[in-house]
Amino acid sequence: MKAVAVIPGQKNSVHLRDVPKPSIDDIPGGRGVLVKVLRVGVDGTDREINNAEYGAPPAGDDFLIIGHESFGIVEQVGANVHEVKPGDFVVATVRRPGGSLYDRIGQYDMTTDDVYYERGINLRHGYLAEYYVDEPEYIVRVPKSCSEVGVLLEPMSVAEKGIVQAFEIQRRLKVWRPRRAAVLGSGTLGLLATMALRLRGLDVVTFGRTPRPYVNADLAEEVGAHYINTAEQSLTDASKELGPFDIMFEATGSSAVVFEAAENLAKNGILILSSVTGGGKKLEISADKINLDFVLGNKVMFGTVNANRDYFEIGARDLTQSLADYPGWAKKLLTHPVNGLENFAQAIDLLNNGKGVIKAFVNI
């Protein structure tokens, strides 16, 4: 079958190649699920992998099949699979367990191992291919009503994990009634986090660097959030008017924003960090002030990396609810389709130079 792969460590090595089609018998105990891939979204992680800044091949291979934002249809299942059946629409999770305690209780996204396994990213092949096979544990059903936007579920699970963990951590407060939320970044993740926070009834301000007219600003406003262009009003100035924020979700991809966010967090507030920052940036911060405010205000800041199946399931429910509450909204995020695996180069090009791209994806 055809698959899109890179040679990790080699810049711009993305290419189409022939690989053996996987079989349900690759998984022992009759537990294999064969999925025909319908769509795969691409994001900055794929760009970094193709730039040789990130990613590693599975042991024994010198190539890595990329693609971690999957959507497909079950084609065949092993004799002992009862969780899904042929014809079901599904999305596969990305992380796979290592050996720590957390891995063994299904919290493989909370691993304390030094090595982590992620399909399409690190040490495991991904989904930008005609088929994949996996165990049902890692395969999440998507309601039929949601199939048009199912390819958004992986990034949605990133937003959900951050938010759900924030609420989990805030149980320390016995009662926590957050009102004001800020989302930093208005890309795919920022918009999905905005939607998920709106579904939970919060007032949301979404920050981005792009001036209007800007589709992403319109999309934030369509779910009832307020968009602020940080070139016109800084996060700090906007916070004086609209903050301080009880919950802040950092999704800009830039570590510098974290510290300005920390300065605008409400007492008892919580700041979610989700940007994977591969660089070596250094900066000067108001260390005493931030520290003092965190101490005197009982504030929390925590990191979150994607995601076990719980968050995919929550994401599937919220995506489905968004279809009712904000009809047509999620579909508008799917801005740039590329048709056919053989046209993979267009998808990479959109990641590098695309204007107005929210989500680029390959139809297979």
* Residue type present at position 145: S
| 127 and 41 Cβ atoms separated by less than 8 Å | no
251 binds ligand BGC (CB under 6 A): no
The span from the CA of 124 to the CA of 105, in Å, is: 21
Nearest approach in angstroms of CB 219 to Zn ion is 19
| 160 and 311 Cβ atoms separated by less than 8 Å | yes
x-or-dash pattern for ligand BGC, window 42-61, by CB under 6 A?
-x-x----------------
Which C-beta is closer to ligand BGC: that of 180 or that of 309?
309
Which C-beta is closer to ligand BGC: that of 118 or that of 293?
118
**Number of residues lying near ligand BGC (CB under 6 A):** 11
Nearest approach in angstroms of CB 82 to ligand BGC is 27
The span from the CA of 23 to the CA of 325, in Å, is: 40
Which C-beta is closer to Zn ion: that of 198 or that of 359?
359
- Spatial neighbors of 184 by CB under 8 A, at least 6 apart, are 190, 207, 235, 248, 249, 250, 251, 252, 257, 261
Question: CA-CA distances (angstroms) from residue 340 to 38, 104, 137, 236, 347?
Answer: 10, 38, 29, 45, 10
360 binds ligand BGC (CB under 6 A): no
What residue is closest to Zn ion based on CB? 43
Which C-beta is closer to ligand BGC: that of 121 or that of 319?
121
- In this structure, what token pair is assigned to residue 96? 């796979």
Task: Tell me 210's DSSP state.
Answer: P
Residues 303-322 that bind ligand BGC (CB under 6 A): 305-306
Q: Which residue from 276, 285, 323, 357 is in contact with ligand BGC, where contact means CB under 6 A?
A: 276
- Residue count of the chain, please give it: 364
Residues of this chain that bind ligand BGC (CB under 6 A): 43, 45, 68, 94, 118, 121, 154, 158, 276, 305-306
